[in-house]
Amino acid sequence: MSAPTATAAAGPLAGTTVLDLSRALAGPHAGMMLGDLGARVIKVESGVGDDTRRWGPPFVGPQEDPQATYFLSCNRNKESVALDLKDAAGRGALEALVADADVLIENFRPGVMDRLGLGFEHLHRLNPRLVILSISGFGHDGPESHRSGYDQILQGEAGLMSLTGSGPDDPQRVGVPIADLLAGMYGAYGVAAALTERERTGRGQVVRTSLLAAVVGVHAFQGTRVTVAGEVPRAAGNHHPSIAPYGLFRCAGGQVQISVGSDRLWDSFVEAFGLSGRVDGLATNADRVRDRERLIALVEEAFAAYGPEELLRRLDDAGIPSGRVRTLDEVYAWEQVESQHLIVDVDHPVLGQVRLPGPAVRFFSPEGEEVTRLEHSAPPTLDQHGEAIRSTAAATAARPAEVLR
């Protein structure tokens, strides 16, 4: 890995350099995760920049230089350089950067990198230690590898929408671009593994994932219902298909969620709400799943005497996992979220200080000292660091070939 500078960020990937050629969300999310872990991430953009710079509204900032909040969501802890990869000078600058990089991320359609003269074999000749993360929509081979992959298309094609909604005839997408986000997460996980293997072998490799693979990879018990039990699961609203009672229930003036995940918890629930004389035939989880409609009616009848706050206190006293449904503004105002460093403050060159959703992983020494990266940089403006990065690339390109690694 390249040597860290005096100002390098903390984190387990400090000293690692990542070239992020990706755009939209899956690749940029992977790059942001690596940056959160301390890597230096250089975002390589075309002359007009990442598509998400124009995805909105909402836009914020001055009318003459509006900033898309979509772009801000997936590009913290990065530098930006604009390079035209269809031009010899742009390709040459990228090749010089590759010589000193540890990781390259791309999410072009399969074959585009080859057409640009930047095929993976060529990149590895320039730098045999390079780890390449390549993310596609439907996979890099197979009969439908040529198809463009956008999140909602893959949520449908990979079965997620058939499991989401009020019922079988109401398919719904997840409220965030989950196929993109999962592909980025799987990609970052693959990069971390490849960097670890490189310490043993001295060689980089190509890590491939796709939006299709990412969604299928999280089918979990719904997948084995198909492959093992031969069942075809369908959307079942806000109640768990295999555990009961587990879901969203009405109460006086609102709703609460509960998760009664064991028969021991069920016994506690029955005692707390005085239901012992009314639960014949509901002793086991399998019984409760089979008689779900009767169970829901019984629970909501018991909850009808309580408002949400009082009910949540009563459930907590009884040891029953429970919670409310918060809006996002409530989430970001929640003291618990703040305590977990899930909000970070950054100084943006156009917007000034802004608050962003933060990284989901923290690191501690065995003595309990936090060694997580706590200082973050704002998502860059287009080509914000271009002059310095192009100067570095030119200096690298001028070095004798034998000094290049």
Digit-coded pLDDT (tens) for 312-363: 999 999 999 999 999 999 999 999 999 999 999 999 999 999 999 999 999 9
Q: Is the pLDDT of residue 235 over 60?
A: yes
Instruction: Supply the pLDDT for residue 254.
Output: 96
Query: Pairing state of beta strands 206-210 and 131-136?
Result: parallel
Instruction: Supply the pLDDT for residue 2.
Output: 43
- State how far Cα 247 lies from the chain centre: 24
Over pLDDT 70: what percentage of the chain? 96
DSSP state of 259: E
182 vs 26: CA distance, rounded Å: 8
Question: pLDDT by residue (tens digit) across 84-103?
Answer: 999 999 999 999 999 999 99
Helix (H) or strand (E) holding 216: helix 211-216
Sign of CA dihedral 45, 46, 52, 53: positive
- Which residue among 180, 316, 317, 383 is the active-site one? 180
Nearest-10 Cα torsion for 314, 317, 319, 325: 40
DSSP state of 10: P
Beta strands, E only, 244-372: 246-251, 254-259, 322-323, 343-348, 352-357
Q: Is the pLDDT of residue 54 over 50?
A: yes
Instruction: Supply the pLDDT for residue 401.
Output: 58
Closest by CA to 357, choosing from 76, 11, 9, is: 76
Average pLDDT over residues 120-124: 97
Query: Pairing state of beta strands 79-82 and 40-45?
Result: parallel
The one-letter amino acid at 395: A
Over pLDDT 90: what percentage of the chain? 93
With residues binned 3-state (H G I as helix, E B as strand, rest as coil), the percentages for the chain, rounded to 5, are 40, 15, 45
Return the exposure string of 359-391: e unless at least 16 CB atoms fall within 10 Å of the residue's CB, then b. Answer: beeeeeeeeeeeebbeebbbbbbbbbbbeebbe
Question: pLDDT by residue (tens digit) across 191-229?
Answer: 999 999 999 999 999 999 999 999 999 999 999 999 999
Instruction: Supply the pLDDT for residue 397.
Output: 86
DSSP state of 278: G
Q: Is the pLDDT of residue 4 over 60?
A: no
Instruction: Supply the pLDDT for residue 403.
Output: 43
Kindly list the structural domains of the chain, giving each domain's residue range(s) and its CATH number in brackets, ordered by start: 17-218+338-403 (3.40.50.10540), 246-323 (3.30.1540.10)
- Residue 186 banded pLDDT, cuts 50, 70, 90: very high
The more confident residue out of 11 and 4 is 11
- Cis preceding-peptide flag for 245 (omega within 30 of 0): yes
Query: Pairing state of beta strands 206-210 and 246-251?
Result: unpaired
Q: Is the pLDDT of residue 6 over 60?
A: no
Please enumerate in sequence order all residues whose Cβ is within 8 A of that of 124, keeping only pairs 6 or more positions apart, or say none.
130, 132, 204
Exposure of 225 by Cβ count < 10 A (0-12 exposed, 13-18 middle, 19+ buried)? Answer: middle
Average pLDDT over residues 128-142: 97
Instruction: Supply the pLDDT for residue 398.
Output: 85
Average pLDDT over residues 303-313: 97
180 labelled catalytic:
yes
Q: Is the pLDDT of residue 259 over 80?
A: yes
Instruction: Supply the pLDDT for residue 277.
Output: 87
The CA-based diameter of the chain, rounded to the nearest angstrom, is: 86
Please enumerate in sequence order all residues whose Cβ is within 8 A of that of 247, keeping only pairs 6 or more positions apart, or say none.
237, 238, 239, 240, 257, 258, 296
